[in-house]
Structure 1
Amino acid sequence: MPHGWQLLDRPREFDAVRSALTGAGSYGVVLVGDAGVGKTTLARSVTESLRSQVHWVASTESSRSIPLGVFAHLVGGSSSRDATALLASARESLVSQGNSIVGVDDAHLLDELSATLLHQMAVDQTGRILATVRSGEPVPDAVTSLWKDGYLRRIELQPFTKQQSVQLVESVIGGRLEGLSADLMWESSGGNPLFLRHLVEGSIDAGTLKRVDDVWQLRGPTAVPSGLVALLESRLDQAGDAVLTALKLLALCEPLDIDALTELAGDAAVDDAEMRGLIRFQQDGPVLNARFSHPLVGDVVRSKVGRAAERRLKGQVVQILRRRDLDTAASRIRMAQLSIDSDQTVDTELLTSAAKDAIYLSNLPLGERLARTAFERTGSLADGALLSRALLWQGKPAAADAILAQFAPADLDEVQLVQWGVPRVSTLFWSMSEVAAAHEVLALVTERVRHPALRLILDATAAAMAVHENHIEAGITEALQVLADPQAPDQAVEFAAFAAGLAMPVAGRGDEFEPIAARCRAEQKTTDGMIRVMVRYCDVLALTHIGRFDLADKRAADYADFSSVGQFLAWAIAKIMAGVVATARGDFPEVVSSIEQALAALSAESPLPWQLPGRLLLARAYAALGRIGEAERVLTDAAEHSGPSMALHEPQRLISRSWYAAAKGMERNAVELARAAADNAQRSGQYALEAEALHHATRFGDRSTAARLAELAGLLHGDLAGLYARHAAAVADADAAALDAVSAAFERAGMLLSAADAAAQAAPLHDAAGDRRRTSESGATALRLAEACGGATTPAIRTAARPLPLTPREREIAELVSAGLSNREVAEQLTLSVRTVEGHVYRACFKLDVADRDELARVVGKKT
């Protein structure tokens, strides 16, 4: 483990305890909290900050059976059996020590005589006391009265907040903790620092918490190491067999309603478990459910259940739950899971239904398990298709295709052909990049299927394929035809919505997708939850392309509301949604955080197609932040997703490469790549992407984009193209005032780095006009906005920050020289002759009054 466990500061609680020990009229404090919450750590850290002498004693189960047990050493060799004499002797020893503090750890375990001694000291105010008490434990009356009667201050020490828990874990593991894993670890530990430590160390040892790229993620069950097991088992051992049986039943089926639990375990055992603080009851709608007081208690109880007992106990629960209505996805999934591992017969229809529920809820590992169990029992195409879909979404395309390859299409009817063909096409096209084979399968199925509703499913699939092959207009037309048909089944509607949702935003028609997205949000009837998640992505994409960033952020946050680790893929796509909006805003630290986590969550046996848009956003963010090596690595990784099935993303790939070139100081190359992206987008009908690419070219210094952007401003929906056109016109006219105005407009729109670039481009124009005040104002605006983008840098910002009297080409070559490249290497990188490079180096040296290229490198290095 990279770092050791350190005390996480609790400044508010620290000050409260210190004040209770040192303030006028204060005689001490009792710290109350759960085991492992950090009472002792806080108490000792406070006493270490004081000059007073501290006498620490620690109560134990064994010492509580000995009168004056923890204070016995204070009575010396006294042989008296008189309690009064013993108390007097111990008290005199403590008081004679002067300005001292008596610290008692686990004061709830004090014997009656020791508790009386503390009480006397508090009543007589003859010493200061710092005691810790564990919540939920019986406490001697004399200790309870310390705070009830107002002698000492009682401070309840709360578990860590989620933010504190994540901060602690990240300080130990030395890296970022994936948000989904952070949620699970915080919930599992309850914010208890000791539990959290055991959980982290145990999970690392078990290999379930591991680093993927720069993100730590938890996959699989949380591991409970022996140290924590021993801590929790001590409480379980005192509970008795009846309570333990109730806990075992709950551990195998949490939550469990109170009626079922009491019927299985008995009222007395359930009441005792609640009184001991091992379980709690929570009202979930009309049902009162039993849950463990702490998640890790359930983990320890489960570890005490053998395989045979598990089958028997689960069977008992199944028998009771069979009498209940299975009218929700949660109830069907729970019954199916219990049935599989019980000694009761399993309803195969229930298994299939529960598998559909799990996949709909985007819990793919669970969906795979249930679907596999069903398929092994039935061998049916319906169950095989479910299993194949769950495998596909988890990045196991070969296994997914192998399931479907077991069925001969000649033996299938029309419904079965669609059930078999659509997932097989999806696997071949998107995950295996076998585009020709995918089209062959789709043609085979289309030729045989005649039912209108079934053909609509095939048409929707074809539309999604067309969009990904960059046939934007054709894909939109076909998708809209499906969506307009009142007979379209749910699967056709969602696939068509996915196709339209990817195409409309990049075509500049993002506002037209809103009613489609609203329709899908309202219906939500599909059995494939991942299609639903992708439509949500399209919703955020559409809002972003028309400049409605606030609503896009809200939708992305709403769609990220997943809590199960099994939903990691849906959660990852939601993080990419957040990255889409953050990129448009210029919030590159947020882009890096969101996308790095998304890519870690998308790690699979085979590259998942959704890694590509995430990687392209991440590469752009790295480049903007000057992290050139990381941008290059991510762009290299992105190359594994290419070919006809990924053609839709080619303009974005070129835009990311243009930002990478700009980060390296290759401004002309950056402009060329941005223009290439615009050309590609124009040819395919991605007019919004064309406008965006031309905007990037303008920011990199291209003064020839105004005319085309003006045309696009009249074609595209939303306000962004109009802003791009205003910016391009101001650059073309070298109009500093117009650039300042459009910078303010970009800032109001929420596009902070575009605003920074416009202000940065105004600064040298003001300088050339001799207006020093406006030069400073524009430059300061550019730097302020760049700082708000995480310290992002662009060619325009670098020039505004430290202007050099060089042409763009001279500056570009000078920056490459400062990066350590030889003239020949510069020539190769810029596709120039060595003589041309030498000429530019000579002129740059002359303008900057430096003697040679070494001095030029030093000057330019300081300026950039």
Structure 2
Amino acid sequence: MTLAEERALSGCPTTASPIAGQRWRKPQITFALDRMGRRGVLVTGEPGVGRTWLARVVAALSGFEVRWVVATETSRSIPFGALTALLPPDLTELHPITVLAALRRGLGPRTLLVVDDAHLLDEASATTVLALASGFPRLLVTAQLTGPVPDAVLALAKDGFLDLLTLRPFGREDAAGALAQGIGGPVAPATAELLWRWSRGNARALTDLVQHGMAHGSFDQLDGVWTWRGDTAVPPTAAQPVSGLSAAGAEALCALVLAEPVSVDALTRVVSPEGFAEVEERGLVTGTAGTVRLAHPMLAAAAAPHLTPLRRRRLADRLLAADVVRPHLLLDSAVTDPDVLVAAARAVVLERPELAVQLAERALPADPGPHAALVLADAHAELGAVAEAWRAHSVASQRVRDDEDRLAVLLAQASLTIWCDRTPSKAVELLEEAHLPVRFAADVESAAAVAVLFSARPADALRRAERVLAADPPPTAWGRATLVSVAALVMADRPHEAAEAMARLTSSTDVSPYYQGLARSVASLLRPDSDAPDLAVLREAHLAQTTGRGAFRSEAAATLAVTEAAAGLPSSHEPDDVAVLPALRTWVAAAARAARGEPSSELYLAAAREAADVGSVRCTVYYLAAAAEHGAAAEAVRALGDRTFEAPEARARAAGIRARASRSGPDLLAAARAHREAGLRAEAEKFESLAHGRTFGLTRRELEVVRHAATGMTDRAIAETLVLSVRTVESHLAAAYRKLAISSRQDLAELFAQPG
């Protein structure tokens, strides 16, 4: 990444901090830092998205000694070319085994190895990096996975050697925030929207725009607000590459705008070879493996003057005739078949609901049945337009022709009742009271299971799902029931069964990607968060849940409210009746009391009872851990009983509850370790702090000896410092080891090192 690219995130003025943009990539930075020391990370993403920038930030924050390898087109032609800088000068035999051995010798226990642009590695270097990944946990690799990539680089994530982190372009809000922080002042909303649209959120393109605007005076401050005051269509740097195109070249460019990415074969069936050759020679296209797309995100905007309504319709019809399937093309084509339009609307209703509305409205007059109206209702619901969604559903209910239509209208009504009216219990009643042929029982019962799940009743939802799955249901009902099973099994502390169900769901080709994604999201709700939550991130997460279905709006609102309470702020939002996790309102109330310094343990215990009553074991343990932390450790231990747990996070919390009750040094140390192993770093530090404040029954002299030993001092150095014999030091250490139930200096270091 160039300095110019960094400035898109870290600020355009040259005085900006090199890591000022951390806030806008915090989840990705946290993910990468959390993986250091485990399996390492492979960072991917489109050109210009900020892979190298992220690697630099993670390396700077890691605390490790960093060694860099940068692959280039030049080094690609030389065996082990990219790794040469890491090899000792006296290594004369560049054999894979000797190179690997030399690298392992040179990479110390506190080394982080960063391999940048690994897609440009030569095969020998790529294979060596893959071999390193199998035994060297601090590895951070960046790569572009489109185009020719060494098989060994693909295997890093595909075969599980590294965790995959895919950087996406900035969304609207993040782009606006990064601009404002980097430039050092507020950006006019219309300007932020304009720059985001031109750049498509790509960091490099965003930087190009800002630098051009600053250099030419079109991007400047007006009353303290940064505003784009130049050409409101396309900046000259973006328009220049398309100026002077011939008619054939303009036709080819416009076809790419409508269809990218598109195969060369399909494109050349739509436009002339001469036109395609012209845009290719100008560098307006890029691609690999027979597929091409625009070379720069702003070229679509630059092509707008050429894309007249007549040309748009002509090209749309040609592209569709060439089997280029793009739903938006249907709006500009002569297609009026309602089945085609409805299918296209369903394909984009989640990702592009505005387009789905347009397609459904076009299909509505020609559709004699309810399906165009139903997908229109779905699209309005996704946009948060509740009244419009119910109006479309009313139209659908008037077009019912048979039992299949009646089922579709019923399921849509239940869906709107859950997501728009936010009353899942009413959706359950609606489905239970339905009178449909028995052949639809699995469809109705699986939909009811989903409604029960989002009523925060996982055990009941699981029972319903299991009944459906036992009856060999149709694919859609199977997908709903399996989704419910995944979520309920996770909450029941049955992670292995949940993983098996998830594998079945994600490997099925008959199940909607929506259900697959929803299952992943539900499972991630209980995934440990290793860092204290950031209010800005939580507010953004809640905002994202306030439109559309908002499946996890309550969870986002509750987490935000708890974090606001801890910060001494009033809660800005409250959970509603749509929730997967139980007892959210009680949890929020308990956290508010705790933040005010009032007794809160009874409320945490009440939340635990609520969670236990509905079969959410994981939430029960979570609330009991909070109760133990706030003075009810004995009661929490009694509630736990002698139960054991499968999930590492649940095991760690149970160990913490018991350690708080026993107040035993070894128990506190074991709880700290369990929390660290489960990825709960903040909780681990709490138990370490508790451990630091205890003497664990050691004598004054034993404490003196072990505190020195914990710093790494040798027995002889301790003896000289305390004016003791080495034998006496050894005796004190042996006694301390027995009392602490530990066996090494490393254990001492963990127990007595200062927190943080």
TM range (shorter): 0.5 to 0.7
Aligned CA distance change for structure 1 residues 469 and 169 (closer, same or farther; 3 Å): closer
Question: Secondary structure of 2:303's partner?
Answer: helix
Question: Secondary structure of 1:658's partner?
Answer: helix
Question: Secondary structure of 2:550's partner?
Answer: coil
- Given that residues 381 and 549 in structure 2 are in contact (C-alpha distance below 8 angstroms), is that contact kept between their aligned partners in structure 1? no
Aligned-residue offset at 1:366:
3.1
Aligned-residue offset at 1:501:
3.0
Cα shift readout 1:630-649 (whole Å, capped 9, x = no counterpart): xx334xx124x14xx54x54
Q: Determine which of 149, 171, 181 is the counterpart of 2:182.
A: 171
Unaligned runs of 5+ in 2: 1-9, 19-166, 220-224, 711-756
Structure 1: distance between partners of 2:475 and 2:361:
24
* Structure 2 partner of 1:337: 328
- Given that residues 199 and 298 in structure 2 are in contact (C-alpha distance below 8 angstroms), is that contact kept between their aligned partners in structure 1? no
- TM-score, scaled to structure 2: 0.62
1:291 aligns with 2:303: no
Aligned CA distance change for structure 1 residues 410 and 474 (closer, same or farther; 3 Å): farther
Cα shift readout 1:49-93 (whole Å, capped 9, x = no counterpart): xxxxxxxxxxxxxxxxxxxxxxxxxxxxxxxxxxxxxxxxxxxxx
Cα shift readout 1:707-730 (whole Å, capped 9, x = no counterpart): 43542623x433444443433333
Question: Secondary structure of 1:238's partner?
Answer: coil
1:747 aligns with 2:676: yes
Q: Determine which of 308, 325, 333 is the counterpart of 1:306.
A: 308
- Given that residues 699 and 758 in structure 1 are in contact (C-alpha distance below 8 angstroms), is that contact kept between their aligned partners in structure 2? no
Aligned-residue offset at 1:518:
1.0
In terms of Rg, which structure is larger?
1
Structure 2: distance between partners of 1:695 and 1:200:
54
Structure 2: distance between partners of 1:456 and 1:509:
25
- Given that residues 374 and 396 in structure 2 are in contact (C-alpha distance below 8 angstroms), is that contact kept between their aligned partners in structure 1? no
- Given that residues 472 and 684 in structure 1 are in contact (C-alpha distance below 8 angstroms), is that contact kept between their aligned partners in structure 2? yes
Aligned-residue offset at 1:740:
2.5
- Counterpart residue type for residue 303 of structure 1: P
Structure 2: distance between partners of 1:775 and 1:399:
73
Structure 1: distance between partners of 2:691 and 2:546:
44
Q: Determine which of 513, 536, 540 is the counterpart of 2:524.
A: 540
Aligned-residue offset at 1:611:
1.5
Aligned-residue offset at 1:735:
2.0
* Structure 2 partner of 1:588: 532
* Structure 2 partner of 1:613: 555
* Structure 2 partner of 1:117: none
Structure 1: distance between partners of 2:618 and 2:12:
50
* Structure 2 partner of 1:353: 343
- Given that residues 424 and 452 in structure 2 are in contact (C-alpha distance below 8 angstroms), is that contact kept between their aligned partners in structure 1? no
Aligned-residue offset at 1:751:
1.8
- Given that residues 528 and 678 in structure 2 are in contact (C-alpha distance below 8 angstroms), is that contact kept between their aligned partners in structure 1? no
Aligned-residue offset at 1:607:
7.9
CA-based RMSD of the aligned residues comes to 4.5
Cα shift readout 1:737-779 (whole Å, capped 9, x = no counterpart): 422332233223322222222233334443998869969999x
Structure 1: distance between partners of 2:674 and 2:388:
52
- Counterpart residue type for residue 638 of structure 1: E
Structure 1: distance between partners of 2:272 and 2:309:
23
Unaligned runs of 5+ in 1: 12-159, 206-210, 212-221, 325-330, 545-579, 782-864
* Structure 2 partner of 1:491: 476
- Given that residues 198 and 227 in structure 1 are in contact (C-alpha distance below 8 angstroms), is that contact kept between their aligned partners in structure 2? no
Cα shift readout 1:684-709 (whole Å, capped 9, x = no counterpart): 23232222211111122323135435
- Counterpart residue type for residue 283 of structure 1: T
Aligned-residue offset at 1:675:
1.2
What is the correspondence of 1:226-265 to structure 2 with a 5 Å cutoff?
Answer: 226=232, 228-262=234-268, 264-265=270-271
* Structure 1 partner of 2:584: 652
Question: Secondary structure of 1:282's partner?
Answer: strand
Q: Determine which of 633, 638, 656 is the counterpart of 1:703.
A: 633
- Given that residues 675 and 693 in structure 1 are in contact (C-alpha distance below 8 angstroms), is that contact kept between their aligned partners in structure 2? yes
* Structure 1 partner of 2:496: 511
- Counterpart residue type for residue 307 of structure 1: P
Structure 2: distance between partners of 1:438 and 1:187:
39
* Structure 2 partner of 1:322: 321
- Given that residues 199 and 297 in structure 2 are in contact (C-alpha distance below 8 angstroms), is that contact kept between their aligned partners in structure 1? no
1:393 aligns with 2:393: no
Question: Secondary structure of 1:581's partner?
Answer: coil
Aligned CA distance change for structure 1 residues 537 and 223 (closer, same or farther; 3 Å): farther
* Structure 1 partner of 2:515: 531
* Structure 1 partner of 2:43: none
Aligned CA distance change for structure 1 residues 772 and 366 (closer, same or farther; 3 Å): farther
Aligned-residue offset at 1:613:
0.9
Q: Percent identity?
A: 19
Question: Secondary structure of 2:583's partner?
Answer: helix
- TM-score, scaled to structure 1: 0.55
Q: Determine which of 187, 195, 200 is the counterpart of 2:209.
A: 195
Q: Determine which of 2, 7, 23 is the counterpart of 2:14.
A: 7
- Given that residues 494 and 520 in structure 1 are in contact (C-alpha distance below 8 angstroms), is that contact kept between their aligned partners in structure 2? yes
Structure 2: distance between partners of 1:196 and 1:712:
62
Question: Secondary structure of 1:274's partner?
Answer: helix
Aligned CA distance change for structure 1 residues 711 and 615 (closer, same or farther; 3 Å): same
* Structure 1 partner of 2:691: 762
- Counterpart residue type for residue 182 of structure 2: S
Q: Determine which of 617, 624, 646 is the counterpart of 1:717.
A: 646
* Structure 1 partner of 2:272: 266
Aligned-residue offset at 1:190:
4.3
